[in-house]
Amino acid sequence: MSFVDVTMQLLDGFKITLLIFVVTLVFSLPLGLIITFGSMSKFPPLRWLTRTFVWIIRGTPLMLQIIVVFYGPGLIFGASGFPRLTAVLVAFIVNYAAYFSEIYRGGIESIPQGQFEAGQVLGMTKFQIFFKVILFQVIKRITAPMGNEVITLVKDTSLARVVAVSELVKSAQDIVGLKAIIWPIFYIGAFYLLFSGLLTLLFGYLEKRMNYYRG
């Protein structure tokens, strides 16, 4: 199997890796903010329920969550389960939304209470205070931890192989098993390094741009 053939097959797997990455971010970032509002709610039952949910998701392995989402509906309810890729996406979105929610919460709680009170004195609504005064300061403070989490997501996409989704690592494993060659396993490291390197540069740029919002 030639280098070009291996590269083309790995690129097919990388497309699935990229799909998992993009879809997870698109849905988990806003969902995480919603969870944050629940965990910071002044209504105790909602706050306790949300924080318990986050505790369970953060306290159990993502691999286990993928398995539960894929096999759970059929084994527990006798219903038809999700397709493999859909199950992976659901598990990833829920998992990363929980992690992002805690990053959001830490960022919001780090803003001095005086800024909220100043907005109220000026007659601003809570919505206006959050989106006009607090939001950009929060973004500045969470850029670094968000960057770390996003880069972790790049590597976590390899867990999709646990339910036989042919992402990058699974594609390499298939080649190794079929052709009895080992080098594709090392070759995929270049894909991850390049992807992570580009994200590192992007978040470094964003941090510099956000230096304006020092709070």
Instruction: For residue 121, give the amino acid letter.
Output: V
Residue 124 in any domain: the answer is: no
CA-CA-CA-CA torsion sign (63, 68, 69, 74): positive
Q: How confident is the model at residue 155 (pLDDT cuts 50, 70, 90)?
A: very high
Of residues 27 and 109, the one with the higher pLDDT is: 27
Give yes or no for a contact between 100 and 29, defined as CB atoms under 8 angstroms apart.
yes
Which structural domain, as residue segments, surrounds residue 9? 3-107+134-212
> Is residue 86 included in any domain, yes or no?
yes
The tokens describing 106, both together, are 């830490």
Residue 122 inside a domain? The answer is no
112 CB contacts (<8 Å, ≥6 apart)? 215
Q: In this predicted structure, what is the pLDDT of residue 146?
A: 94
pLDDT for residue 212: 58
At 214, is the pLDDT very low, low, confident or very high (cuts 50, 70, 90)? low
Give me the mean pLDDT over the 163-182 stretch.
91
Q: Is residue 7 included in any domain, yes or no? A: yes
Q: Is residue 23 part of a domain?
A: yes
What pLDDT does residue 73 have?
84
Q: Are 32 and 98 in contact (CB under 8 A)?
A: yes
Which CATH number fits the domain that encloses residue 183?
A: 1.10.3720.10
Domain annotation covers residue 114? no
pLDDT digits (tens, 9 = 90+) for 54-81: 999 999 999 999 999 999 887 777 777 7
pTM, entire model: 0.90
Number of domains in the chain: 1
Domain membership of residue 118 (yes or no) is no
Average pLDDT over all residues of the chain: 90
Q: Does residue 117 lie in a domain region?
A: no
Percentage of residues of the chain with pLDDT beyond 70:
98
Q: Token pair 């280098």 is at which residue? A: 3
- How many Å apart are CA 56 and CA 196, to the nearest integer? 28
> What pLDDT sits at residue 120?
81
* 35 CA to centre of own chain: 14
| pLDDT above 90: residue 101 | yes
